[in-house]
Amino acid sequence: MTDPTPHLIRTSRDGDVLILTIDNPPVNAFSPGVPEGLKAGLDAAATDDTVKAVVIIGGGRTFIAGADIRTFNLPREQAPDLRGTIAKLDAFPKPTVAALHGTALGGGFELALGCTHRVATPDAKVGLPEVKLGLLPGAGGTQRLPRVVGVKKALDLILSGTPVGAAPARDLGLIDEIVEGDLLTGAVAFARRVADVRPLPRISERPAQPDPEAIEAARQSIRKTHRGQLSPQFIVDLVDLATRTPFNEGHAEEGVNFVQAKDSPQSRGMRHMFFAEREAAKIPGLDKTTPTTDIRRVGVIGAGTMGGGIAMNFLNAGIPVTIVETAQENLDRGLNTIRKTYEASAAKGRLKPEDVQKRLDLLTPTLSMDDLGDADLIIEAVFEDMAVKKDIFTRLDAVAKPGAILATNTSTLDVGEIAAVTSRPEQVIGLHFFSPANIMKLLEIVRTDKTSDSVLATSLKLSRTIGKVGVVVGVCNGFVGNRMLYAYREQASKAVLEGATPQAVDAAMNSLGLPMGPYAMSDMAGLDIGYMARRAAAERAGQPMPDDWVDRVVQLGRKGQKTGAGVYDYPDGGRTPVPSPAVDDLIQAYRAEKGVQPREATQDDLISRLTATLANEGARILEEGIALRASDIDTIYTYGYGFPAYRGGPMHYASEQGLTTVVQTLERHSLEVAPLLRRLAQEGKTFAQYDAERAKSQT
């Protein structure tokens, strides 16, 4: 037989078995060329009597990792025909065996479910992660999965989007056999064994049993787990439908809903975040071959909340940590918190009980910085005081071995100024973790103009080792995230001064999808922290501290949840914010003092004002070169500040609103518009176009 399959499919024969190999690196996404090749291969094999069975396998590191996400923006007629390819498989008259390795995800796994059989390597993973892109499995997944694993398990898998390993997948009936040794050899042998099996075991022909309880439980739970999101609702409805209609009807409905989800701003936002996160790892001018340092031992200075949380990241990754404090009492308290956190994880089943001690055994507490001589990386995590930090870095310079990376966890201070007290400023970098540092995924990597490429490359690599998303930023007050937060809080304060209540501001941001509005968040973090940071910044700038009603709340001793009162009251030691009559009085008195006549603000006004402020500050940050791209800002604000991924981050959200609208909002509130934002609005462009143009000019 001549090779009928052009494009991205290789065809070969092993006796009576036809092998179709997908060759679309790096992850064999279902791009244009894949369906054409597969269909052509299947058409030829259907009429060739010498072919008894077909094996479909991925070349390179994985089976198909899903539909090609980039093609979702193409007009429908140009999109690769995944559903049609699977329909052809489902109607194919001979056994078809999907041979899975790597990650068979989304449309890739759906294609495998359209085959009559599936075999996999022991380390293969299968899953339907579409929900993480604001989508639903759109190529039969919502209809086939419940027919194999039942409604409850199907909902678990599709709503979590978490892949499962080959062994559990086999136990669930999703995989027929695990192949030890060479996958292709095993798959061909398996195909030969099932070549004469009739009728063909087609999943689409099986019934799915109704499970109204599981459906109802899922409906309840997505209200909390996927608040405000569209695609999880489609998913629950479609899985339910699978139990009530013939396959073809459910499948047709799935197709309609998939297009609705794909074309929604929510999915556009989540797809933007998918690529933004990956883009952040690419630093223009930083060669891929830049040598990195092996981080085998880490030193952490400070065993407070931040220091302890930072240390846990490394302990979790199996990297020994020496943690330094100034007093035994502080050291004991820090260690105790770490132990308790691990024990709580073990009690919740998130950590094996034996791993608690294993991790603690990697931790060496000490009162002497001299014990940091063998650390490859030392992270300072003491309070925000330039003099203290300079003193620590002077001492570190004397103690640390040559080549060690010296990092500060400062959230605001000039890393270059700290580096300048050492004899090796090229080894100094900011590693800004976010609280709780063992949980939050963001790591702002702050480079100075002296930080070496190798230190930068090592930091980026390290962020992946400890499961963080590292984003490289430059030095300025608050770097990217906190600088935007300051501007946002300042605007929130003004909105309250002009007439909104703090709870209306919080409710507005909550309705946008942020877990907390600015005031609930400040109360939780400690109102005094922002107060002290503003005071220090004003002192550094040699200016008086700007007047703000929130500071007057702090001056009353109301420092947030920790004192039982902040912008809100927290009666009986609780954590639920309750509007405070005392703060209401304070705000009214403040308005009177400033001669402001309060005006009502609608929820939409508050949302547009605060999000426009974020984008405006983001545009300034971009212009100053503090962030490399708008998408990096989105990554920072989504992973570090709770901006919902389905809004795509503040820069993407602004582009979705239209930058002209954003400019008008800023002008309506008499805010100075960042020149870059104004220019993009005038040119009718988005921040994504700005990123793309810059990337082009850098290559």
Choose between 274 and 497: whose C-beta lies nearer to ligand 3HC: 274
Task: Please report the beta strands in 499-595, taking only residues with DSSP state E, as ranges in sequence order.
Answer: 568-569, 578-579
335 binding ligand 3HC? (CB under 6 A): no
Query: Residue 691 interacts with ligand 3HC (CB under 6 A)?
Result: no
Nearer to ligand 3HC, 135 or 505 (CB): 135
- Our finding on whether 158 is near ligand 3HC (CB under 6 A) is no
Contact 372, 378 (CB under 8 A): yes
Residue 211 as a binder of ligand 3HC (CB under 6 A): the answer is no
On the 0-12 / 13-18 / 19+ scale of CB atoms within 10 A, 551 is middle
Which segment (66-74, 350-358, 562-570, 606-614) binds ligand 3HC by CB under 6 A? Answer: 66-74
The stretch among 67-75, 196-204, 520-528, 680-688 that binds ligand 3HC (CB under 6 A) is 67-75
Q: How far is the CB of 87 from ligand 3HC (least distance, A)?
A: 13
Distance of CA 651 to the CA centre of its chain: 16
110 binds ligand 3HC (CB under 6 A): yes
**Site membership for ligand 3HC, residue 401 (CB under 6 A):** no
Output the smallest distance, CB 183 to ligand 3HC, in A: 17
Q: Which residue bears the tokens 């056999």?
A: 177
175 binds ligand 3HC (CB under 6 A): no
Q: How far is the CB of 127 from ligand 3HC (least distance, A)?
A: 8
Question: Per CB under 6 A, which region of 134-142, 394-402, 548-556, 561-569 contacts ligand 3HC?
Answer: 134-142
d(CA 499, CA 588): 9
179 binds ligand 3HC (CB under 6 A): no
Q: Which stretch binds ligand 3HC (CB under 6 A): 106-114, 205-213, 546-554, 655-663?
A: 106-114
137 scored as a contact of ligand 3HC (CB under 6 A)? yes
If binding is defined by CB under 6 A, does position 106 make contact with ligand 3HC?
yes
Q: With binding defined as CB under 6 A, does residue 517 bind ligand 3HC?
A: no
Among 15, 70, 255, 350, which residue sits at the site for ligand 3HC (rule: CB under 6 A)? Answer: 70
- In the bound state with ligand 3HC, the residue whose beta carbon lies nearer, of 66 and 309, is 66
Smallest distance, ligand 3HC to C-beta of residue 269, A = 15
- Which residues are 446's β-sheet partners? 430, 473
The residue within the footprint of ligand 3HC, chosen from 67, 241, 462, 633 (CB under 6 A), is 67
Locate the DSSP E strands across 220-355: 298-301, 321-324
Smallest separation (angstroms) from ligand 3HC to the CB of 103: 4
**Would you say 17 or 67 has its CB closer to ligand 3HC?**
67
With CB under 6 A as the contact rule, the residue among 51, 68, 550, 621 that binds ligand 3HC is 68
Using the contact rule CB under 6 A, the part of the chain among 101-109, 325-333, 474-482, 633-641 near ligand 3HC is 101-109
Cα-Cα end-to-end distance for the chain: 45
Tokens encoding 634: 């989105």
What is the rounded distance in angstroms from the CA atom of residue 491 to the CA atom of residue 500? 11
Q: Could you say which residues in the range 337-366 bind ligand 3HC, by CB under 6 A?
A: none
Output the CA angle 616-619-624, nearest 5 degrees: 130
Q: How many positions of this chain bind ligand 3HC (CB under 6 A)?
A: 25
Q: Which of 19, 57, 139, 405 binds ligand 3HC (CB under 6 A)?
A: 139
State both tokens at 372.
Answer: 């940091």
Question: Residue 103, interface with ligand 3HC (CB under 6 A)?
Answer: yes
554 class by beta-carbon count within 10 Å (0-12 exposed, 13-18 middle, 19+ buried) = buried
Dihedral sign computed on CA atoms, order 627, 619, 536, 310: negative
- Give the Å distances, CA to CA, from 442 to 20, 68, 431, 434: 41, 26, 10, 7
Write the DSSP symbol of residue 673: P
Only segment of 59-67, 183-191, 489-497, 632-640 that touches ligand 3HC (CB under 6 A): 59-67
Half-sphere exposure of 427 (CA within 13 A, CB side): 19
Tell me: cis bond preceding 199? Omega within 30 of 0 counts: yes
If DSSP codes are grouped into helix, strand and coil, which group holds residue 10? strand
Q: Give start and end residues of each alpha helix (H) in 557-600.
A: 581-594
Rounded to whole angstroms, how far apart are CA atoms 229 and 60? 35
What are the angstrom distances between the C-alpha of 565 and each of 262, 521, 549? 44, 13, 15
640 SS3 class: helix
x/- map, 5-44, ligand 3HC, by CB under 6 A: ---------------------xx-x---------------
Q: How far is CA 295 from CA 163, 381, 458, 462, 498, in A?
A: 30, 18, 8, 8, 52
Note whether 135 binds ligand 3HC by CB under 6 A. Answer: yes
81 binds ligand 3HC (CB under 6 A): no
CB 653 → ligand 3HC: shortest distance, Å? 21
What's the Cα-to-Cα distance from 516 to each of 458, 508, 509, rounded to whole Å?
A: 34, 10, 7
User: Which is nearer to ligand 3HC, 65 or 169 (by Cβ)?
Assistant: 65
464 sits near ligand 3HC (criterion: CB under 6 A): no
Q: Which of 81, 130, 211, 240 binds ligand 3HC (CB under 6 A)?
A: 130
Segment contacting ligand 3HC by CB under 6 A, of 130-138, 357-365, 608-616, 641-649: 130-138
| Cβ nearer to ligand 3HC, comparing 65 with 363 | 65
Which range binds ligand 3HC by CB under 6 A, 50-58, 133-141, 338-346, 633-641? 133-141
CB 495 within 8 A of CB 606: yes
From residue 580, alpha-carbon distances to 504, 520, 538, 571, 583 in Å are: 13, 12, 29, 10, 5
- Kindly give the pairing relationship between strand 298-301 and strand 377-380: parallel
Binding status of residue 107 toward ligand 3HC by CB under 6 A: yes
Q: Convert 577-593 to b/e letters by CB count within 10 Å (16 or more is b).
A: beebeebeebbeebbee
> Is residue 133 within the footprint of ligand 3HC (CB under 6 A)?
yes
Which CB sits closer to ligand 3HC, 110 or 376? 110
Minimum CB–partner distance for residue 11 and ligand 3HC (Å): 24
Nearest to 516 by CA among 426, 656, 642, 375: 642
Handedness of CA 259, 263, 267, 272 (dihedral sign): positive
Task: Using the minimum distance from each CB to ligand 3HC, give the nearer residue, 73 or 576.
Answer: 73
**Is there a contact between 463 and 377 (Cβ–Cβ < 8 Å)?**
no
Examine residue 649 and tell whether it contacts ligand 3HC (CB under 6 A): no
Sole window of 99-107, 236-244, 287-295, 317-325 interacting with ligand 3HC (rule: CB under 6 A): 99-107
Residue entry with tokens 């759906």: 110
User: Which positions from 252 to 291 touch ligand 3HC by CB under 6 A, shown as an x/- string?
Assistant: -----------------------x--x-------------
The residue within the footprint of ligand 3HC, chosen from 114, 138, 186, 649 (CB under 6 A), is: 138
111 binds ligand 3HC (CB under 6 A): no
Give CA separation, 21 vs 5, 11, 47, 188, 631, in Å.
10, 6, 20, 13, 35
Binding site for ligand 3HC (CB under 6 A): 26-27, 29, 65-70, 82, 103, 105-107, 110, 129-130, 133, 135, 137-139, 141, 275, 278
